């Protein structure tokens, strides 16, 4: 049976039970006090219990039949009115199942349970539509980025085939560089997928120790570019994956070094405890950045400068990976342009329990 039919039968059954209880009340509290035998003394005629039952029973049966019909008809109508919002939600669900995520219920009326369900379903569709669009855009960008090194490799191999006298050492070096870039991109995509899935074990991690470790590791790259790095801050312990948080810190510091001034640039790495969380902030000098550009830097394959073919330029997933890792650890990423040039990046994560 449908829900509407079940509700209709429930309404009708309730009315029948209520009517039967009323009749039972009349019997228990009224008719049982009426004598069952007639008195033949002087005075007006006095009906007996049998006389009252003969007159009352047909009318009671008619009343019960009327209540049954009223319960079925009225219950069917009321059930239809109550379930109408659910029908709209069901239709929207079916449209979403066919791939149409742009449809919204937009239910009007007062804030009841059905309205809350419809609003929650609309919010879910909006998030799902945005997620699907982001995944499609990401897949297209990833395909484009992976196609580039493969196309370059094929071109180099075609040149080597047509010109056997070409210097093989130069060809090998160029193939090695292109292949290394493809490997870096593949590893970045795998790391991004791992962060999205949340498939990692957690343990207490001190971000200040990670900052010092990453600074020591990338110090040769900074010295090569004439950039100074300063690390400071308090002990900031959070809970998460040490490898993912180390990769997050590495990406932040690496980006700050690569996207900096040509010489005499600076990078500042600080950690601090803020309210009920911890913060890792990486700032660097550099060119002036507009507010609109800063809001798009965390998008996959978006690079903040035109040095995309320089050494250690990355694959355009640095800040995207940072944002996904922070989100996987219930944290957030904040980007802000420095007034004097460069970028300030802050990652906020929950504070580890004592």
pTM confidence score: 0.58
Mean pLDDT in residue range 8-19:
85
pLDDT at residue 310, rounded to an integer:
42
Asked if 47 and 30 count as a contact pair (C-beta separation under 8 A), the reply is no
What 17-25 contacts at long range (C-beta under 8 Å, 24+ apart), as own/partner pairs, is 18/67, 19/63, 19/64, 19/67, 20/64, 23/60, 23/64
Distance of CA 269 to the CA centre of its chain: 30
Mean pLDDT in residue range 296-319:
59
33 pLDDT tier (thresholds 50, 70, 90): low
pLDDT at residue 229, rounded to an integer:
92
Mean pLDDT in residue range 70-77:
85
Q: Write out pLDDT tens, residues 162-203.
A: 877 777 777 787 788 778 777 777 776 776 676 666 667 788
Mean pLDDT of the chain: 80
For the record, the structure tokens of 286 come out as 């550099």
Lowest mean pLDDT among 18-22, 191-195, 224-228: 191-195
**Has residue 11 got a pLDDT over 70?**
yes
**Has residue 333 got a pLDDT over 50?**
yes
């Amino acid at each position: 049976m449908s829900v509407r039919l079940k509700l209709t039968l429930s309404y009708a059954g309730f009315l029948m039970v209520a009517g039967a209880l009323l009749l039972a009340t009349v019997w228990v509290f009224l008719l049982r006090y009426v004598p069952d035998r007639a008195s033949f003394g002087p005075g007006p005629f006095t009906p007996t219990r049998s006389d009252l039952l003969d007159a009352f029973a047909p009318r009671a049966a008619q009343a019960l039949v009327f209540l049954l019909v009223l319960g079925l008809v009225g219950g069917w109508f009321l059930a239809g009115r109550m379930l109408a919002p659910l029908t709209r939600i069901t239709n929207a669900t079916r449209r979403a199942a066919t791939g149409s995520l742009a449809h919204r219920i937009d239910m009007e009326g007062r804030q009841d349970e059905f309205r809350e369900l419809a609003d929650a379903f609309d919010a879910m569709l909006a998030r799902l539509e945005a997620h699907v669009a982001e995944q499609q855009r990401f897949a297209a960008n990833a395909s484009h980025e992976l196609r580039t090194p493969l196309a370059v490799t094929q071109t180099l191999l075609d040149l080597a085939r047509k010109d056997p006298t070409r210097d093989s050492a130069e060809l090998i070096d160029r193939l090695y560089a292109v292949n290394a870039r493809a490997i870096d991109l593949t590893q970045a995509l795998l790391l991004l997928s791992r962060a999205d899935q949340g498939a990692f074990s957690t343990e207490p991690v001190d971000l200040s120790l990670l900052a010092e470790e990453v600074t020591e590791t990338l110090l040769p790259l900074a010295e090569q570019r004439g950039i100074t790095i300063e690390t400071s801050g308090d002990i900031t312990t959070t809970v998460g994956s040490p490898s993912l948080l180390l990769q997050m810190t590495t990406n932040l510091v690496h980006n700050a070094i690569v996207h900096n001034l040509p010489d005499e640039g600076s990078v500042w790495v600080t950690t601090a405890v803020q309210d009920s969380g911890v913060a890792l902030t990486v700032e660097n000098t550099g060119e002036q950045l507009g507010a609109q550009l800063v809001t798009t830097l965390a998008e996959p394959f978006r690079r903040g400068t035109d040095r995309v073919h320089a050494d250690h330029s990355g694959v355009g997933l640095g800040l995207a990976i940072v944002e996904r890792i922070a989100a996987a650890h219930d944290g957030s990423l904040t980007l802000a342009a420095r007034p004097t040039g460069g970028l300030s990046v802050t990652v906020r994560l929950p504070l580890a329990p004592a």
